[in-house]
Structure 1
Amino acid sequence: MSVSVGDKIPLVTLKTMTAEGPKEISTAEIFAGKKVVLFGLPGAFTPTCSAKHLPGFIDKHDDLAAKGVDTIACISVNDAFVMGAWGKAQEAGDKVLLLADGNADFAKAMGLDADFTAYGMGIRSKRFALVAEDGVVKVLNVEAAGQFEVSSADYVLNQL
């Protein structure tokens, strides 16, 4: 069953890359007491994710912050090393927190996992964007397969 507006973000331990290497970070730490925009995508370095999805949120960082967003985070079923390298390649800096959901634990807990085995990618995340306040989902936009519209930075910005 997929997460819905009004649901709490499940407690899951993720990883993020730091200067010292991969670090565990819990969803409680990410969402507690904050307004967070989280967007999920099938994979780092994939065409739409690299050309449009992540760059859009990097570009709109200041506009989202002006609307009261404390954290913009990107999650993908990749390891922390890949997410760290992708963040550097995309020049995300401190504008977007890159989160590794290596075993798809978060995607599965949210009911947003997708089977990409036909593409040689295994279990991944659906493309989505959400807004959560203090760990409660306030806005949830899940893309239809192969689409990129309702999870874009511009679309989310217009919902705030």
Structure 2
Amino acid sequence: MICATYSDFVYWVEMQKRDYNAGKLAQGKINLLNDLNFDWTPDPVATWQDMYEQLSQYYDRFESTLINTRINEELGMWTNELRILYSKGNLDPTWVAKLNHLEFDWKAEDVNMNAMFDRLVAYKKKHGTVAVPYACPDDPPISNWIKRNRRD
């Protein structure tokens, strides 16, 4: 799977589960997914609401939604994924409204630049190069960041 579509896939899976649990998913789709032994249970690691609550606590403490990945790497990566989905128009409007309630910073390029640069330095340490492959290296967020910057 290509990293550029990974966040879209994760989002799509979450939407299927959400619609199914809300009784809004068409029976034909349910049948197709059941044929694949689709797991309808929410992600046990962290649901969207769990991550939102972490973000809300971070916001209360630091008065910002720009996550320092040294403080919370998982939350920083999650907020970066939200920005990517939002920029593509693929983020649930109810989620956008909740995030806007926290004054979510949709344009975090400067702060993210520093965080991603740190990741690039770590990548170079590990691999001896900053030539990050286009698709799915050890660190998909750095791959996505490099791809976006190659286009600019």
Higher Rg? 2
**What's the TM-score, normalizing by structure 2?**
0.24
Structure 1 or 2: more helix by fraction: 2
More strand by share: 1
Higher relative contact order (CA 8 A, sep 6+): 1
